[in-house]
Amino acid sequence: MSAKKKTILLVEDDALLALDLADILVEAGYEVCDPASSNELARRVIERDRPAFALLDYNLGNETSIPTAIELAQREIPFAYVTGRAEAVTKNPLAPCAPVISKPYREEEILRALSTIEGQA
């Protein structure tokens, strides 16, 4: 990775999982935007910070992260889904194609997925 830290957006409605994921990313040398727990908050972060990558939980309480995934795809910002509902992502015809990491995940899976999507940037 270059000397400049790559910025990552986390979209996760579970605060503890967001903190755990942020710790993994910071330790690996990435910079993490303020985690977003909804599509509206994610949209604000995208507009304000223009992250290099994003990791999205599919289920955000009463909504899914599909609107954020569509916006990221339109802006050509690579992302991956990090979800306990992998089958819901793959069966949703509106879900833009991206790597899917199933919860519970291992640190290596997160870093491997980031390496893959970083190669697409």
Percent of the chain at pLDDT above 90? Answer: 86
Percent of the chain at pLDDT above 70? Answer: 95
Look at residue 52 and tell me whether its pLDDT is greater than 80: yes
How far is residue 73's CA from residue 34's CA, in Å, rounded to a whole number?
A: 20
Q: What is the pTM of this model?
A: 0.92
Q: Give the model's pLDDT for residue 1.
A: 42
Average pLDDT over residues 47-71: 96
Look at residue 121 and tell me whether its pLDDT is greater than 80: no
Mean pLDDT for all residues in the chain:
92
CATH code, 7-118: 3.40.50.2300
Average pLDDT over residues 77-101: 93
Let me know: does 38 contact 60? Beta carbons within 8 Å.
yes
Q: What is the DSSP letter of 3?
A: S
Look at residue 58 and tell me whether its pLDDT is greater than 80: yes
Look at residue 120 and tell me whether its pLDDT is greater than 80: no
